[in-house]
């Protein structure tokens, strides 16, 4: 009788360890999967919803973006180039915001990440993009 009790206990303990190990292995697999996802998509994806502050956008534009976007240096679309901006506005606001944050290489040239403004926040960049679209006279969908 005692033997059976010990055996039952051993079996119970054994299956407990197996299930708990199994659980950990699952968790590890999941975190590895997340790691892979992170590695294949290193670019910043914007999850937050932003509301444009055009006044701030103007300040940011005049401080940084103006260097390339006023006259169209290095293949940048000049603000008065409505044709280019009409094409750009085909993309939605979220994509344009992400391109401003991460940088963007198109057929005309290279837009550096954050337009080289390392201390610009995501909000600053959103505002600047909104200001530029407005000044160019185009509207991108949200």
What are the residues binding ligand HEC (CB under 6 A)? 60, 64-65, 67-69, 73-77, 88, 91, 96, 99-100, 104, 106-112, 115-117, 120, 125, 128-129
Nearest distance in Å: CB 137, ligand HEC: 15
For 76-94, give the DSSP string: PPPTT-HHHHHHHTTS-HH
Task: Report how far residue 88's alpha carbon sits from residue 73's, in angstroms, rounded to the nearest whole number.
Answer: 17
Distance from C-alpha of 62 to C-alpha of 52, rounded to nearest angstrom: 16
Please, what is the minimum distance in Å from the beta carbon of residue 26 to ligand HEC? 40
Residue closer to ligand HEC, measured from CB, 29 or 56: 56
Is the separation of the CB atoms in 57 and 128 below 8 Å? yes
DSSP letter (8 states) at residue 108: S
What is the closest distance, in whole angstroms, from the C-beta atom of residue 15 to ligand HEC in the complex? 56
Pick 10 or 110: Cβ nearer ligand HEC: 110
DSSP string, 59-78: HHIIIIIHHHHTTTGGGPPP
Q: How far is the CB of 21 from ligand HEC (least distance, A)?
A: 48
| Cβ proximity to ligand HEC, 19 vs 71, nearer residue | 71
115 dihedral zone (left: phi>0; alpha: psi -120 to 50; beta): left
Closest contact distance (angstroms) between CB of 142 and ligand HEC is 15
- Identify which of residues 18 and 68 has a Cβ nearer to ligand HEC in the complex: 68
Residue with smaller CB distance to ligand HEC, 24 or 116: 116
């Amino acid at each position: 009788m005692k033997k059976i009790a010990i055996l039952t206990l051993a079996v119970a303990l054994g299956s407990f360890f197996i299930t708990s190990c199994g659980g950990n292995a699952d968790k590890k697999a999941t975190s590895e999967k997340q790691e892979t996802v992170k590695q294949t998509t290193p670019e910043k994806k914007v999850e937050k919803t932003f509301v444009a502050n055009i006044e701030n956008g103007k300040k940011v534009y005049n401080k940084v973006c103006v260097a390339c976007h006023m006259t169209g240096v290095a293949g940048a679309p000049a603000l008065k180039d409505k044709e280019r901006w009409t094409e750009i506005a085909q993309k939605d606001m979220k994509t344009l915001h992400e391109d401003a944050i991460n940088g963007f290489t198109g057929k005309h040239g290279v837009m550096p990440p954050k337009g080289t403004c390392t201390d610009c926040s995501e909000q600053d960049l959103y505002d600047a993009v909104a200001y530029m679209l407005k000044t160019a006279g185009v509207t991108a969908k949200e």
